[in-house]
Structure 1
Amino acid sequence: MEKILIIDDEAAICSSLTFALEDKYIVKSTTDPLQGVMWAKEEKFHLCLLDLKIGNISGIEILMELKNIQKDLLVIIMTAYGTISSSVEAIKKGAYTYLTKPLNKEGIYSIIEQALKYQKLNRQVEYLSQELERKYTYKGMVGKSPLMKNVFNLIEKVKDVDTNVVITGESGAGKELVARAIHFSGKRKMEPFVAVNCAAIPENLLESELFGYKKGAFTGATADQIGKFEYGNNGTIFLDEVADMPLPLQAKLLRVLQLKQVTPLGSNLPVELNIRVIAATNKDLKKLVDGGSFRQDLYFRLNVVEIYTPPLRERPQDLPLLFQYFIQNYSQELNKDIKGLSEEAQNSLLQYHYPGNVRELANIIEYAMLMTEGPCIQLENLPLELQKKSKTVFTYHQNPIDSLVGLTIEEVEKLLIEATLKKNEGQRKKTAQILGVSERGLRNKIAKHKL
């Protein structure tokens, strides 16, 4: 249950506010600002309702002292109509907002609720930022789900060997990121990394692009051209969408891999190769082999180790981390100070199925940040499709337990306690009964998890 401190020189206001709020919050009130400052030094408060003028003492001075003691304390200034200009000054000094007297009960409830949601968001952002830095980011990839941990483990195992690797997965899932992670974390990291999109280069140009050619090899060959294999020698060549390579060229690629040498078009002198090959595809190579559109011998040559990059719908635990990762990146790139997502915006993003995977998510976050003026991305800042999706029933997880897979026991315990407390409106006795623990045990766990 959140703790609120009230400081006002009118005892009647302290009493009425305490009476109005004590059913929902733990409330302490005082007419002595120095007493309020002392309490703030002794215990943790979530929010303070502070009068702008307390006798001869300025509320702004008390505000600054409170913020020095508890940096994340939310302070709401209470002011008379004639001193609104001073309250604006208080906001510049760190106050969350201000309320004008006489106070409206419903208005107080609404503003306190908004303020506490904002505080919770900031704490989530801080926590996620620390977690991203500490253990959930690997060579530009973000994830804590079992599927992504498996990807990271496989990268560690193959990064320093020359074994050929095939990376599979849907478009936008991050296959090239995996390839780059293998190269730039391994023994070849100081050598070239050459990426070739086999689907983007016309069939009649792909051979010369890969293997190079000599002047006069064909009409238009007015100078020698070094191929991608020769250019990437001693490093890594990444053959993206290798399944789209035509069969005749597959045979030539197989020969290059077998002999470890390449002969440019129009030349009789082979170039010796010391190069690592990583291929990627969003298609099922086994089915293509069975259908005759991909050579079986090339498949076995390339696919010594397969790394599967999962789509976002298979790793929902990673979504909050990815949200924060992209918000941090685009905050720097777009020169914006955006902290995170509103609850409604986050819920909408969690419900979405992401057919374009991580690439699509990155585009959505960039768009939302361009549309956002405040410190937090709101639902209305998201693309229209996601705003509409938020009104539909959430069916993303077939089994609710799936959302817990990948979390530690302590993380699950914290979520369970937090959710049960919220359902019981902070009543610890009832919460302890439901969870099957003693009140003292629950109190210890609340302290342990800093709830």
Structure 2
Amino acid sequence: MERILILDDEISICTSLEFALEDHYEVKATTEPEQAIEWLKESRFHLCLLDLRIDGVSGIDVLQEMKSIQKDLVVIIMTAYGSIATSVEAIKKGAYTYLTKPLQMEGLLSIIDQALEYQELNQRVEYLSQELEEKYRYEGIVGKSPQMKKVFETLDKLKDLDTNVLVYGESGTGKELIAKALHYSGNRKKYPFVALNCAAIPENLLESELFGHKKGAFSGAVTDKPGKFQYAEQGTLFLDEIGDMPIGLQAKLLRVLQEKEVTPLGSNKPEVLKARVVAATNQDLKEAVEHGKFREDLYYRLNVVNVFLPPLREIRQDLPLFFQHFMEVLQKEGHQVKKISEEAMKSMLAYDYPGNIRELSNILEAACVMAEGDIIEWQDLPENLRQQNTDLVSKKTNPFKQLVGFSLEEIEKQVIFETLQSQNGHRKKTADILGISERGLRNKINRYGLHQS
């Protein structure tokens, strides 16, 4: 349910508006600007009905402070007839529109609905303006390899479901981007996307961050504070580095997911869980379960459906798409570089990117800074990359010429054998790299007699 904040210096107006809107929205009303600002700092509101002058305080000043706290807050100014010029100034400062007093209640709901639709559209446009949409892209994710197409297909099936999702892959592969794609492509997009890094918050604070707390729940809890579950509303809560969550807190998270209820610290009153949970890890959670570092029941509760993000070294055919994507991003940020030279491209295509997408992005940004013209040259690349690939840059031979004279079956057999070797016999990873099903891989292993001893 959308949340509306009302700030007016007349108690009667606050009361009447609250009464008129409470059947449709969650409403909080006050006559004190300081109280309204405090509420906004504590939790997210979708819309604010703001008086232009509150007991000597300028509504425009309050508007600007509110916008600095929550940029996407939709503010509707309430004003007397004689203040219309000032109301227009408020619109220039970021207000959605203004209403003249006395308010016409029959049209108020319609205007609020329009304002909330405007907010949703703006959120959608802002997200899409940052991410490119074309043939090989899914909500900001690029790729045409079989592995990435499989990711796209899985996301498309999951986007409108309430199913818990576990995203796993090496560090830097873009797990949060996957969670955002699920959120913004599905029916939860009009609600918040809230991210929490379980490894970045001290254990003694993590529980409060997740579930919230009541005033006096512990030393320093001077006000009520909603947790990430409450702040996410009916949107998405992204729990990054879930494998680093303390074992004791895992039990409490499991209970929340099982009961669909969240109880803030210091409270005996549970609140209904409405948010969808997407968790991510770069660890092997099955192995963590075996070593007693992760609860098995929580693992299965989170891992209803999983999405595997392959490292860049396994999807080299996607590298040109990633180069293009990040070059366009850097150009929008003011960099003048437009191309990558042939020599630099050879070196970048040969590199393994142990830091994955994050490292690739940093390499391109550094190269753009070092480039003297509008082309990234080989010498503009970081030294470690140049050093590793010096011989590859100067190599002129075509590696595919070495395959001339072999039958397709012989080539396929060798490719499957070498890929299996590189993955230590792991069939699922091998099938993902080769772009075939595990069943298809098993048939080919039987056909070519590639069983490992």
TM-score by length of 2: 0.57
2:44: which partner in 1? none
2:256: which partner in 1? 256
Q: What does 1:297-308 correspond to in 2, within 5 Å?
A: 297-308=297-308
Rounded Cα–Cα distance in structure 1 between residues aligned with 2:260 and 2:133: 40
Report if aligned partners of 1:137, 1:143 keep a CA contact under 8 Å in 2. yes
Pick which of 380-389 and 257-266 moved more.
Answer: 380-389
1:209: which partner in 2? 209
2:151: which partner in 1? 151
Following TM superposition, by how much is the alpha carbon of 1:227 offset from its aligned partner in structure 2, in angstroms? 0.4
Q: What does 1:199-238 correspond to in 2, within 5 Å?
A: 199-238=199-238
1:374: which partner in 2? 373
Do structure 1's residue 339 and structure 2's residue 338 form an aligned pair? yes
Q: What does 1:53-72 correspond to in 2, within 5 Å?
A: none
Rounded Cα–Cα distance in structure 2 between residues aligned with 1:210 and 1:365: 36
Q: How many residues align?
A: 265
Do structure 1's residue 312 and structure 2's residue 312 form an aligned pair? yes
Q: What does 1:157-168 correspond to in 2, within 5 Å?
A: 157-168=157-168
Report if aligned partners of 2:335, 2:368 keep a CA contact under 8 Å in 1. no
Following TM superposition, by how much is the alpha carbon of 1:393 offset from its aligned partner in structure 2, in angstroms? 4.5
1:274-321 residue CA offsets vs partner (Å, 9 max, x unmatched)? 111100000011111111111111111110001001110010001011
Q: What does 1:33-432 correspond to in 2, within 5 Å?
A: 134-336=134-336, 338-393=337-392
Q: What is the DSSP-based 3-state SS (H/G/I as helix, E as strand, rest coil) of the residue aligned with 1:220?
A: coil
Q: What is the DSSP-based 3-state SS (H/G/I as helix, E as strand, rest coil) of the residue aligned with 1:390?
A: helix
Query: CA 1:133–1:254 in 2, change beyond 3 Å: closer, same or farther?
Result: closer
Query: CA 1:216–1:366 in 2, change beyond 3 Å: closer, same or farther?
Result: same
Q: What is the DSSP-based 3-state SS (H/G/I as helix, E as strand, rest coil) of the residue aligned with 1:171?
A: coil
Following TM superposition, by how much is the alpha carbon of 1:371 offset from its aligned partner in structure 2, in angstroms? 1.1
Report if aligned partners of 1:351, 1:389 keep a CA contact under 8 Å in 2. no
1:343-396 residue CA offsets vs partner (Å, 9 max, x unmatched)? 1100111111111100100000011111112221100111111221221348xx
Following TM superposition, by how much is the alpha carbon of 1:326 offset from its aligned partner in structure 2, in angstroms? 0.8
1:45: which partner in 2? none
Report if aligned partners of 2:347, 2:392 keep a CA contact under 8 Å in 1. no
Following TM superposition, by how much is the alpha carbon of 1:339 offset from its aligned partner in structure 2, in angstroms? 2.3
RMSD value, Cα: 1.6
Q: What is the DSSP-based 3-state SS (H/G/I as helix, E as strand, rest coil) of the residue aligned with 1:135?
A: coil
1:445: which partner in 2? none
Report if aligned partners of 1:348, 1:390 keep a CA contact under 8 Å in 2. yes
Q: Which one has the largest radius of gyration?
A: 1
Rounded Cα–Cα distance in structure 1 between residues aligned with 2:206 and 2:351: 38
Rounded Cα–Cα distance in structure 2 between residues aligned with 1:133 and 1:345: 27
Following TM superposition, by how much is the alpha carbon of 1:133 offset from its aligned partner in structure 2, in angstroms? 5.6
Rounded Cα–Cα distance in structure 1 between residues aligned with 2:311 and 2:339: 23
Following TM superposition, by how much is the alpha carbon of 1:134 offset from its aligned partner in structure 2, in angstroms? 3.5
1:45-101 residue CA offsets vs partner (Å, 9 max, x unmatched)? xxxxxxxxxxxxxxxxxxxxxxxxxxxxxxxxxxxxxxxxxxxxxxxxxxxxxxxxx
Letter in 1 for 2:140: G
Rounded Cα–Cα distance in structure 1 between residues aligned with 2:371 and 2:134: 28
1:429: which partner in 2? none
Rounded Cα–Cα distance in structure 2 between residues aligned with 1:250 and 1:166: 15
Query: CA 1:295–1:236 in 2, change beyond 3 Å: closer, same or farther?
Result: same
Query: CA 1:306–1:133 in 2, change beyond 3 Å: closer, same or farther?
Result: closer
Report if aligned partners of 2:175, 2:309 keep a CA contact under 8 Å in 1. yes
Q: What is the DSSP-based 3-state SS (H/G/I as helix, E as strand, rest coil) of the residue aligned with 2:390?
A: coil
Letter in 2 for 1:256: V
TM-score by length of 1: 0.57
Rounded Cα–Cα distance in structure 2 between residues aligned with 1:282 and 1:316: 20
Rounded Cα–Cα distance in structure 1 between residues aligned with 2:197 and 2:283: 14
Structure 1 unpaired stretches of 5+: 1-131, 402-451
